Amino acid sequence: MKRRRAPRGSGEQLREEILDVTTDLLLETGYAKAVSIRAVAQRVGVTPPSIYLHFADKDALLDAVCVRYFEKLDQEMQNLSAGAPSPIEVLRAQGLAYVRFAVKTPELYRIATMGEGRPGSDVDMMLNTSAFVHLRNSVEQLMADGVFSSTDPTAIALRLWTAAHGVAAMLISRPYLPWGDTEEFTDRVLRAVVVGEIVSGTVDLSANPQENLTMLKGLLHERHR
């Protein structure tokens, strides 16, 4: 049906409605290429040129949908970590919230994180201004506390993000595998990655792996004594 002329100042409302409809179409089709400007305009009840007043092209529209998704992801991560008693617990809560939210919204997560990326798009900017920057802040705090010895918080944050993404992608694509309790599985994997980051700062990575293993076993033996 043809949409009535919107009152002056309602452009932002129309923009949000366009994003809502695009999100619905993505969830229905499960495939970004199946969503067109014409289809979005038809469902909203406007003409295609009305869409272009808010988004330069389809890529910009899809980027905006993904940006909004990452904003919601960031909010989930911040909500869960708000009451954490220490920086390491904040990091743990952020990782668990990331995977939990991804599994709860599998179709949008796949589109937002596993679709074809373009350097410089709003999605890439989002990864550096919202959820990712909060994760990196947690890493920086742990570096300041001497937990992580690296001087590159972005590199560590990317490795932790990659681990969380890997868990989320596997739980979404292969839910039938014997994961056991998925929350416990996620926590164990992310914990192992964090411990690995901590340990890697105390050993000589250029040394023979067996030498490092012997050294670590010696430390564990002393701790047990």
Does pLDDT of 8 surpass 60?
Answer: no
Number of neighbours of residue 155 by Cβ within 10 angstroms: 13
Distances (CA, A) of 25 to 110, 146, 171: 14, 47, 24
The tokens of 173 are what?
């694509």
Q: Where are the alpha helices (DSSP H) in 105-176?
A: 106-114, 122-127, 131-144, 153-173
User: Is 1-55 a CATH 1.25.40 domain?
Assistant: no
What distance separates the 2 farthest-apart alpha carbons in the chain? 78
CB-count exposure of residue 201 (10 Å: 0-12, 13-18, 19+): middle
Q: For the chain, what is the mean pLDDT?
A: 87
**Record: fold of 67-224:** Tetracycline Repressor; domain 2 (1.10.357)
Element (H, E) at 2: none
The predicted structure's pLDDT at residue 4: 53
More confident residue, 35 or 178: 178
The pLDDT confidence band at residue 126, using thresholds 50, 70 and 90, is low
Least confident of 1-10, 134-143, 176-185: 1-10
pLDDT 10s digits, 91-124: 999 999 999 999 998 888 988 888 766 676 767 7
Residue 71 CA to residue 84 CA, distance in Å, equals 21
The predicted structure's pLDDT at residue 40: 94
The tokens of 216 are what?
């670590």
Query: What is the crossing angle of helices 182-200 and 87-104, to 10°?
Result: 140
What does pTM read for this prediction? 0.81
DSSP 46-81: S-HHHHHTT-SSHHHHHHHHHHHHHHHHHHHHHHHH
- Over range 51-66, report the average pLDDT: 91
Coil, strand, or helix at residue 139? helix
Domain ranges of the chain: 1-55, 67-224
The predicted structure's pLDDT at residue 191: 94
pLDDT 10s digits, 130-157: 899 999 999 999 999 999 988 899 999 9
The predicted structure's pLDDT at residue 114: 82
Residues ≥6 apart with Cβ < 8 Å to 22:
35, 40, 61, 62, 65
The predicted structure's pLDDT at residue 207: 77
The pLDDT confidence band at residue 9, using thresholds 50, 70 and 90, is very low
Residue 165 CA to residue 130 CA, distance in Å, equals 16
* pLDDT > 70: percent of the chain: 91
